[in-house]
């Protein structure tokens, strides 16, 4: 399918969709490091600039519009969490483009907090807005650990199918492949200890790119970014936010002797080792932390393929 990608970041979601066999025909981000990284690894179809300055008719019409609209205003970790937060206005940009360009499907990724924002009023408003725009809307909360990602990362995927398409073509969410303990056909969650077992220390001999890490001192004060990491469990969520001291809130290595390197966090986000992040260290950490795990993006994309197959069978 031909896909338009908004708020594309470094391209975690887009790479997953490409791996599932789709084509990204247009992408956008206003952060120049993200755009450099995206062009370097994925392609030159990304446009630098704020979506607020791009008219809907400047964007090609694809089969699908995808995007993780920025979530700071919706994040449970953010005390400014409010429906009035100006950063939530970017959601309205996503809505504008879907409304104007009428793709067959859209997929929007967001943080778990979106479900409880304003006592559930925000998500109801989002559903009603997209319904008015002509879409049947579904939402589901996922943990990417259930899809073989060695990271517990809870994200909501809102999916819309244009109302003129038969309901048989409604987007169907991917089924889990893993569970906490593994049972039946489900494998056991992948853990961070195994995921990083073969990775040498950043100051040792290696050929890994982006294998540098924050020197921010590790202290265990039992809050996000300051907790020991259990090597037998999936990694805690890789974060994009800062530590309020100019650094980034990187998660501890499973041996708990230092923070993870950019490459290690990228591995936990299931980026291939050849994927190179460009920009200063904090920017690279942020690009990694903001991404949809590539493997999860691929599962989401394979379902778009399944929908398309169904459509061909129906016609
Ligand atoms: C959560 S990240 C998306 C990550 C991406 N889906 C991935 O998988 O790598 C949101 C992105 O929105 C971008 N962004 C924020 N405001 C924007 C704006 N006004 N116009 C375009 N991009 C914007 C940020 O730079 C950030 O890269």
Give me 152's structure tokens: 């517990």
Question: Does 291 contact ligand 1 (Cβ within 6 A)?
Answer: yes
Question: Does 30 contact ligand 1 (Cβ within 6 A)?
Answer: yes
Mean of pLDDT values over 25-48? 98
pLDDT tens per residue across span 285-300: 999 999 999 999 999 9
From 110, 290, 295, the mutation candidate for ligand 1 (largest count of ligand atoms within 8 A of CB) is: 290
Q: Which of 105, 192, 119, 118 is nearest to 157 (CA)?
A: 105
Asked whether residue 210 carries a pLDDT value surpassing 70, the answer given is: yes
Question: Does 8 contact ligand 1 (Cβ within 6 A)?
Answer: yes
Asked whether residue 168 carries a pLDDT value surpassing 70, the answer given is: yes
* CA 89 to ligand 1 centroid distance, Å: 13
Asked whether residue 77 carries a pLDDT value surpassing 80, the answer given is: no
Asked whether residue 71 carries a pLDDT value surpassing 60, the answer given is: no
Class of domain 2-180+292-314: alpha beta
Question: Does 31 contact ligand 1 (Cβ within 6 A)?
Answer: yes
Strands across the sheet containing 46-48: 46-48, 23-29, 2-6, 64-67, 105-111, 154-162, 135-143
The pLDDT assigned to 306 comes to: 73
Asked whether residue 80 carries a pLDDT value surpassing 60, the answer given is: no
- Any catalytic annotation for residue 71? yes
pLDDT tens per residue across span 262-287: 999 999 999 999 999 999 999 999 99
Q: Are 4 and 26 in contact (CB under 8 A)?
A: yes
**Domain-wise residue ranges, the chain:** 2-180+292-314
Counting Cα atoms < 13 Å in the Cβ hemisphere of 315 gives 8
Q: Which residue has the higher pLDDT, 74 or 31?
A: 31
* CA 88 to ligand 1 centroid distance, Å: 12
Question: Does 224 contact ligand 1 (Cβ within 6 A)?
Answer: no
Asked whether residue 37 carries a pLDDT value surpassing 70, the answer given is: yes
The predicted model scores a pTM of: 0.94
Name the active-site residue from 71, 190, 213, 249: 71
Q: How far is CA 3 from CA 20, 22, 88, 199, 305, in A?
A: 12, 7, 23, 34, 12
Express the helix, strand and coil content of the chain in percent, nearest 5 each: 35, 20, 45
* CA 290 to ligand 1 centroid distance, Å: 8
């Amino acid at each position: 399918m031909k896909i338009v990608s908004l708020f594309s970041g470094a391209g975690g979601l887009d790479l997953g969709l490409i791996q599932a066999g789709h084509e990204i025909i247009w992408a956008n981000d206003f952060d120049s490091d993200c755009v450099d990284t995206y062009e370097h690894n994925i392609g030159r179809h990304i446009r630098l600039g704020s979506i607020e300055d791009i008219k809907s008719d400047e964007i090609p019409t694809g089969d699908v519009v995808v995007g993780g609209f920025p979530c700071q205003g919706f994040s449970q970790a953010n005390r400014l969490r409010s429906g009035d937060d100006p950063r939530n206005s970017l959601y309205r940009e996503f809505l504008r483009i879907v409304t104007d360009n009428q793709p067959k499907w859209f997929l929007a990724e967001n943080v778990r907090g979106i479900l409880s924002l304003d006592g559930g009023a925000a998500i109801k408003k989002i559903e009603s807005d997209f319904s008015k725009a002509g879409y049947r809307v579904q939402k589901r909360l996922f943990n990417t650990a259930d899809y073989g990602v060695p990271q517990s990362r809870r994200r909501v995927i809102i999916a819309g199918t244009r109302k003129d398409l038969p309901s048989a073509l409604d987007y169907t969410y991917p089924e889990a492949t893993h569970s906490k303990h593994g049972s039946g056909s489900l494998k056991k969650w992948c853990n961070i200890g195994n995921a990083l077992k073969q990775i040498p220390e950043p100051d040792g001999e290696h050929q890994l790119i982006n294998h540098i890490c924050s020197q921010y001192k590790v202290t265990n004060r039992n809050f996000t970014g300051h907790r020991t990491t259990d090597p037998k469990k999936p990694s805690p969520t890789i974060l994009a936010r800062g530590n309020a001291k100019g650094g980034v809130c990187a998660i501890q290595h499973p041996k708990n002797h230092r923070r993870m390197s950019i490459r290690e966090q990228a591995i936990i986000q299931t980026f291939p080792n050849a994927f190179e992040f460009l920009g200063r260290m904090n920017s690279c950490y942020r690009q990694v932390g903001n991404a949809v795990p590539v493997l999860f993006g691929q599962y989401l994309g394979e379902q778009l393929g399944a929908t398309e197959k169904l459509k061909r069978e129906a016609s």
